[in-house]
């Protein structure tokens, strides 16, 4: 009885393995006409996806301020042209658009540049959140605001805006390189 039940369990697995082997064999031997048509379609699809990702990242680029020098930043002191909550909402929307695009793109230098730009915006938002002080504070948050900061904490917090600005600048560089790569492929 045990041998019969073991045989009944093995038969479906052997059938699946045989079917898998046949499907792989068919995939490895496509016709050349189908391959050339598919590659042209893939290339145009890839360009469309990357263009869509770059347009989405440009929305974030318009929200942040990228300074040409340290002196310019210290003179102005602003991190972005929008409040933190607006940037966070825009970052969430852009992330929801760009991540599926990145998942569909093949591994390439262009994909890496787009991913790095998105991550730099995320990193900047992470640090900006650490120092963001909303003008309106809910009453329930007042109890948790009784945190005392040491002099080391104050020194650390004073460097956070510089960290945010560095992430914005890096994101801009990655985005610019991605745009240049797309422009080169169009030629």
Distance CA 61, CA 121 (A): 9
- For residue 67, report the phi and psi dihedrals to the nearest 5 degrees: -95, 145
Domain range summary for the chain, segments of one domain joined by +: 39-186
pTM of the entire predicted model: 0.68
Q: Which residue has the higher pLDDT, 28 or 163?
A: 163
CATH says 39-186 is which class? mainly alpha
Distance CA 58, CA 36 (A): 33
Q: How would residue 147 be classed by pLDDT, with cut points 50, 70 and 90? A: low
Residues sharing a CB contact under 8 Å with residue 56, sequence separation 6 or more, in sequence order: 93, 94, 97, 98
> How distant, in Å, are the alpha carbons of 67, 91, 156 from that of 58?
16, 11, 30
What is the chain's mean pLDDT, rounded?
A: 76
Which of 10-14, 44-48, 51-55, 74-78 has the largest mean confidence?
Answer: 51-55
């Amino acid at each position: 009885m045990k041998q019969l039940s073991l045989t009944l369990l093995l038969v479906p697995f052997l059938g699946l393995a045989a079917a898998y082997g046949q499907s792989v064999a068919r995939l490895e031997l496509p016709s050349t006409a189908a391959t050339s048509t598919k590659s042209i379609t893939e290339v145009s699809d890839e360009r469309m996806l990357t263009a869509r990702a770059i347009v989405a990242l440009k929305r974030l680029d318009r929200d942040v301020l990228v300074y040409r020098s340290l002196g310019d930043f210290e003179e102005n002191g602003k991190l972005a042209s929008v409040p933190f909550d607006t940037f966070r909402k825009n970052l969430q929307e852009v992330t929801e658009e760009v991540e599926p695009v990145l998942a569909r793109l093949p591994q390439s230098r262009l994909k890496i540049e787009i991913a790095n730009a998105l991550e730099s915006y995320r990193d900047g938002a992470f640090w900006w959140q650490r120092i963001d002080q909303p003008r309106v504070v809910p009453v329930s948050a007042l109890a948790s605001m009784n945190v005392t900061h040491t002099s080391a904490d104050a020194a650390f917090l004073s460097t956070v805006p510089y960290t945010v600005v560095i992430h914005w600048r890096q994101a801009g560089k990655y985005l610019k390189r991605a745009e240049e790569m797309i422009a080169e492929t169009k030629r």
